[in-house]
Structure 1
Amino acid sequence: MTQVTEQSLRPTSGTKTAEAKAAAPPAKKRDAFFDNAKYLAIVLVAMGHAWEPLRDSSRAVSALYIFIYTFHMPAFIIISGYFSRSFDFRPDRVRRLITGVAVPYIVFEVAYSLFHRWAADDPSMPISLLDPWYLTWFLLALFVWRITAPIWRLVRWPVPLALAIAALGAVSPDIGDDLDLQRVLQFLPFFVLGLRLKPEHFALVRRKEVRILAVPVFAATAVFAYWAVTRMNMAWFFHRDSAQELGAPWWSGILMTLALFGCSLVLTACFFAWVPGRSLWFTALGAGTLCGYLLHGFLTQSADTWGWYGADWLHQPSGAVFVTLLAGVVVTLLCTSPVQRLFRFALEPDMTWAFKKDPAARRGRS
């Protein structure tokens, strides 16, 4: 009979490893719906920027511009809020906020400023971390919104409160350009709404009947945008100015805040209704949308600075179609894995050297 000793009863290191792997929770799988939504939203963002030089020569392009500006950034911001629901000031989450949002903001704010100095031959262009230039406002806004996430989980009526703050921002011309606070405040309700949403809310808007209803809603909005393009100040859709700065009475800022929030919410729901929920060829690109967002700005700025839209044919319908397709292809390429890896040093820097080791993690390993 084989002798059973205390040593033989102890699991081997290989057994321990196997048991640890079995006990460990499975890696969290990415949701194809949200990756698809982020990719499609960033394509619309790139197309909108590509249309800017064509707006004066085409009423149809201007109408499409208004149409997508009503919901593409709100959709992106709602998703950002949704994935910020668990944010607190736990050390690992603060580190991710710094390395994934704050550091990219600093890097690209400096890069855009230096690029403009070189491309536009404008040495007077200041480098200021307090005045976001072009696309970097979103990173700064996301940083501010995310650090306030715990507050919105505490208050009783977070979305109405955020709307009130947005309305106050829209009637406060003295806010100025520092930190791009107008956009931070006026887009805040979408982020707070994302914080409050649950998976079942997204399932609700993805039902077949909502998808069908979205078609006439989109069509009616496009027709209204074509009518409104010559009658309305498009700057309202950028959310970067107060009512007074747009030459409107102060009270219109409150009304437009509520009206645009409602319109954006309806169109964003329609957009989500048509986002595929299964994995497709572009699903993996959803993980690289921040890369595509920040990098395509250099191309749109180059096009403006170096006069790439000078050819007459680009201002014809066929030219608008070409520009639209080109913008979609370019931003798609910028979201791919090779480009992400190339710019990981700026977008996802490894900064373990900059942080103290987490005492709780050290105790867990001991």
Structure 2
Amino acid sequence: MRELLLPDVPQDRAVERSKERDAFFDNAKYLAIVLVAVGHAWEPLRDGSRGVSALYLFVYAFHMPAFIVVSGYFSRNFDWSPGRLRRLVTGLAVPYVVFETAYTFFTRWTDQVPDRPVSLLDPLYLTWFLVALFVWRLTTPLWQRVRCPVPLALAVAMLATLTPSIGDDLDLQRVLQFLPYFVLGLSLRPEHFRFVRRRAVRVVAVPVFAGALVAAYWAVPRMSAAWFYHRDSAQELGGPAWSGPVMTLVAFGCSLVLAGCFFALVPGRRTWFTVLGAGTLYGYLLHGFLVQGARFWGWYGPAWVHGPFGVGVAALVAATVVTLLCTPPVRRALRYVVEPEMRWAFRREAVQAGRT
């Protein structure tokens, strides 16, 4: 996933490229991945707490859509050239195999399921995103050549909710239902992000976020947060088939507004966490081990953890851990599994093209 990391280039070019990086997008990626980690940390605290459930629903309404929009935006130049196909394999397919296997063995221990099979057709936990991004990026040239790509992608997502027969292979429901956000990112231009970063939009974003929190609190006992997971059909969520397309449109509208507000509030200048935006894939893939382990180790057992103070501590710990996992030392140490070069597996022209 090269849009999340600095490419492998000579040192002088790497320095030059780092200067060219837009601080806004690095900031956005970092803040989005922090929200992902915090949302995962809050998940076990929802039972019996309407407030935590509202916070959880609020975050889930836009954190992955925002992350996917940025991923789509940085995929605009993708084509089927040898170099980019090589990076697709080394940056997504190989890490998927590695982390799908790792999470399977890890959750055999944490979930006490010793016979859980290693299945590359059934993405476990957060590895679905690697599969989805692989498929989305592979189809990028198609979306860039059709008319009205966003409405078409939205129609695909709506149709996907009509039937559970799509199955769970490669988490295809999620791939299809999150597709509109990626295609939207492909369709955006720098001026669109400049628009949402205007002062007037930033001023409006604050009350919109506040209103969304109130709406989430109201919605908690009335709807399932699973509508924002985009992993099930309407029937699997207990609704009639027609509710799937309707809720897809509603969720897309809500997520789009909140993601826009999120982008409006992201600082555009360089900050202490700007450099961490290049390592968000590492934070995403690695923080899940701590989240899964925390349940097994009984960290959510004490009563105080389920109170307001505990909710804050869980958020702080999650934010701190994912921040550390995005740092350059972690990236250097684990690059061989997250972004392996694998030059031995490709013909010389593909390797050379991948470095340009």
TM-score norm. by structure 2 comes to 0.93
Aligned to 1:157: 148
How far does residue 341 in structure 1 lie from its aligned partner after superposition?
Answer: 1.1
Which residue identity is paired with 2:170? Answer: L
Larger radius of gyration: 1
Query: Relative to 1, partners in 2 of residues 1:337 and 1:171: Cα closer, same or farther, differing over 3 Å?
Result: same
Count of residue pairs brought into register by the alignment: 340
CA distance in 2, matches of 1:230, 1:361: 56
CA contact (8 A) 2:86 2:350 kept: no
1:329 maps onto 2:320 in alignment: yes
Query: Relative to 1, partners in 2 of residues 1:110 and 1:212: Cα closer, same or farther, differing over 3 Å?
Result: same
RMSD: 1.7
Q: 2:138 aligns with which of 147, 154, 159?
A: 147
Q: 1:342 aligns with which of 330, 333, 354?
A: 333
Moved more, 26-35 or 353-362: 353-362
CA distance in 2, matches of 1:28, 1:198: 21
CA contact (8 A) 1:63 1:229 kept: yes
Runs of at least 5 residues in structure 2 that lack an aligned partner in the other structure? 1-11
Query: Relative to 1, partners in 2 of residues 1:26 and 1:143: Cα closer, same or farther, differing over 3 Å?
Result: closer
CA contact (8 A) 1:163 1:189 kept: yes
Q: 1:297 aligns with which of 288, 293, 315?
A: 288
Which residue identity is paired with 1:302? Answer: G
* Per-residue Cα deviation, 1:265-320 (whole angstroms, up to 9, x for no partner): 00000000000111100000001101001100001111122321000110111111
1:268 maps onto 2:259 in alignment: yes
The correspondence of residues 217-366 of structure 1 with structure 2, limited to 5 A, is: 217-358=208-349
Aligned to 1:11: none
Aligned to 1:193: 184
How far does residue 361 in structure 1 lie from its aligned partner after superposition?
Answer: 5.6
CA distance in 2, matches of 1:360, 1:222: 48
CA contact (8 A) 2:91 2:339 kept: yes
How far does residue 360 in structure 1 lie from its aligned partner after superposition?
Answer: 11
1:213 maps onto 2:204 in alignment: yes
Aligned to 1:68: 59
TM-score norm. by structure 1 comes to 0.90
How far does residue 118 in structure 1 lie from its aligned partner after superposition?
Answer: 2.9
1:98 maps onto 2:89 in alignment: yes
Which residue identity is paired with 2:282? Answer: C
The alignment partner of 1:45 has SS state of helix
CA distance in 1, matches of 2:262, 2:269: 16
How far does residue 202 in structure 1 lie from its aligned partner after superposition?
Answer: 0.3
CA contact (8 A) 2:83 2:352 kept: no
Query: Relative to 1, partners in 2 of residues 1:27 and 1:39: Cα closer, same or farther, differing over 3 Å?
Result: closer
* Per-residue Cα deviation, 1:23-52 (whole angstroms, up to 9, x for no partner): xx9777111000000000000000000001
The alignment partner of 1:343 has SS state of helix
The correspondence of residues 18-167 of structure 1 with structure 2, limited to 5 A, is: 29-167=20-158
Query: Relative to 1, partners in 2 of residues 1:343 and 1:190: Cα closer, same or farther, differing over 3 Å?
Result: same
Runs of at least 5 residues in structure 1 that lack an aligned partner in the other structure? 1-20
Taking only the aligned residue pairs, the percentage that are identical comes to 68
Query: Relative to 1, partners in 2 of residues 1:61 and 1:151: Cα closer, same or farther, differing over 3 Å?
Result: same
* Per-residue Cα deviation, 1:324-364 (whole angstroms, up to 9, x for no partner): 111111111111111111111111112111100118969xx
Which residue identity is paired with 1:71? Answer: F
Which residue identity is paired with 1:163? Answer: L
How far does residue 119 in structure 1 lie from its aligned partner after superposition?
Answer: 3.1
Aligned to 1:168: 159
CA distance in 2, matches of 1:228, 1:53: 19
Which residue identity is paired with 2:306? Answer: H
Aligned to 1:204: 195
CA distance in 1, matches of 2:319, 2:121: 31
Query: Relative to 1, partners in 2 of residues 1:304 and 1:105: Cα closer, same or farther, differing over 3 Å?
Result: same
CA contact (8 A) 2:23 2:270 kept: yes
The alignment partner of 1:319 has SS state of helix
Moved more, 318-327 or 42-51: 318-327
Which residue identity is paired with 1:264? Answer: S
How far does residue 186 in structure 1 lie from its aligned partner after superposition?
Answer: 0.3
CA contact (8 A) 2:282 2:331 kept: yes
CA contact (8 A) 2:83 2:351 kept: no
CA distance in 2, matches of 1:359, 1:334: 30
* Per-residue Cα deviation, 1:115-157 (whole angstroms, up to 9, x for no partner): 1123334221010111000000000000000000000011011
CA distance in 1, matches of 2:59, 2:126: 17
CA distance in 2, matches of 1:142, 1:27: 24
Query: Relative to 1, partners in 2 of residues 1:150 and 1:222: Cα closer, same or farther, differing over 3 Å?
Result: same
CA contact (8 A) 2:42 2:56 kept: yes
